[in-house]
Amino acid sequence: MMNLEKYLEVKPEVAEAIKAGKAVVALESTIISHGMPYPKNVETALKVEQIIRDYGAVPATIAILGGKLKVGLSADEIEYLGKAKEVVKTSRRDIPFIVAKKLDGATTVASTMILAALAGIKVFATGGIGGVHRGAQETFDISADLQELAHTNVAVICAGAKSILDIGLTLEYLETNGVPVVGYGTDELPAFYTRRSGFGVDYRVDTPEELAAALKAKWDLGLEGGLVVANPIPEAYEMDFDVINEAINVAVLEAEKQGIKGKESTPFLLARVKELTGGDSLESNIELVYNNAKVGAQLAVALAALK
């Protein structure tokens, strides 16, 4: 048995819910420390937790604070993360060093999945997943999120893949690794800010119950790995397909010219797209996260009912 007590601290409310087999939804912290400006980041994080409670589940925001793996943060800890300057964007490879050096780390999709799985949480709601970057056939720039989805048993509710990525190659990579990509109420993969991408999904499901039954079957059969639940941004908040894609193309060219690569590329591209769209993309980003929190809670409740 792994000696987890030394490293992992699960908030009592979250631990009790997991032990009782109740609905729990994991949330990442990169969106707080690297995704939005203060105080918008803290307001959004607290509202996301409230939405999850409103739909009958317990929220567990995940981060690393002072080297401790925290599953479930207090409002004060969320406030601290929202203001702190020296928070390291933490993926799988970074976890041991952030822990050993007793630093603060904001978890990405990959590391949130790892810590959620360690605590026994099966459902995670986020904004969008990482993926294969444009030009990856030369650079091999592929997000660790995809490898995590290949072997960690957590369902990820997202608004599709961020449209700054090569969506076709991202889907190919997921297919190679046996990760189902499910459209929630849609036959087309949403592309974060927009409801369409031009790419299909593997399966469409229309209810949380249908989704929970498929997830239970997957894991009961020992089919390791996660599942991508692609939940489109609500129509009222989606951005114009051409406007957002034009902004993304400009931002990608600028990143190339400036030699911005690796973990710096996504924050740069998202910030630049926000500037190019006059801030509209930030509003869309917040609304799609709220929508994913709702579906995540509904899925967690349906999954708990099947235990």
Rounded CA-CA distance 45/125 in Å is 12
Rounded CA-CA distance 70/53 in Å is 19
Maximum separation of any 2 CA atoms in the chain, in Å: 53
| Strands 58-65 vs 104-107: parallel, antiparallel or unpaired | antiparallel
In degrees, to the nearest 5, what angle opens at C-alpha 292 toward C-alphas 291 and 298? 95
From 28, 49, 148, 238, the catalytic residue: 28
Rounded CA-CA distance 116/113 in Å is 5
Tokens standing for residue 197: 């991408």
Residue 28 appears among annotated catalytic residues: yes
Q: Both ends of the chain: CA-CA distance in Å? A: 24
Tokens standing for residue 226: 């996660």
Helix (H, G, I), strand (E, B) or coil at 147: helix
From 11, 89, 122, 162, the catalytic residue: 162
Residue 162 appears among annotated catalytic residues: yes
| The residue count for the chain | 307
DSSP state of 262: G
Cα-based distances in Å from 91 to 23, 30, 225: 25, 10, 17
Give the active site residues.
Answer: 28, 162
